[in-house]
Amino acid sequence: MEYMFLTGGNSKDKDTRRITFEEAKKMVCDTSIKNSYKPICSMVILEGERKYRKIIYFRKRVIIYDFDTTKQVWYEKVNDNEYFIDQIAFENYRNQNKYVEVHLRNRDFSDPNICMIRVGSNGRWKYYVGDIDDSKFYRKIEFGDTDILYSDIETNFEPYLMNLKECGKNFSRK
């Protein structure tokens, strides 16, 4: 495996350049950067010549993407190095040509400990709402530590989604 660090989140951006691990870590730890919506830097994991996985670092978010499974795990920063998994998405769920998006809400939300799922196929959408134990979705993440991120990208989170019910697109329980 080869690790390539880049400024920003997209290698095709004209301003993107290759940087060292130390430069990337310094950028992520720089508290003077206030914009939380623009990627600070990214790490592309190569297997030979092929892109295998990509980790994008924001001020208050980390996203890991697996190019083989098309799975994404989104982490929202809670404090310091503690994160909560707030979204899991698949562009092609289990090779069934289905787009699946799972949004998770922890105990800090007005409607806490729920999951909202949107499944799309052939232009049609189905919506589900269910319950979660939010303690299963908190992580301590240090910059450059890929073990936790790799574990989550390989984990089947379905056992942690309970009482799923189909609902309307506003995700209200029937």
d(CA 18, CA 116): 37
Please tell me what DSSP assigns to residue 104: E
Per-domain boundaries in the chain: 1-59, 63-174
What's residue 10's pLDDT?
76
d(CA 59, CA 37): 8
What's residue 49's pLDDT?
85
User: Tens digits of per-residue pLDDT, 92-151?
Assistant: 888 888 999 999 998 887 778 899 999 998 889 999 999 999 899 999 999 988 999 999
Work out the average pLDDT over 35-46.
Answer: 87
What's residue 34's pLDDT?
73
What's residue 125's pLDDT?
94
Predicted model pTM? 0.91
User: Tens digits of per-residue pLDDT, 54-82?
Assistant: 999 998 999 999 999 999 999 999 998 99
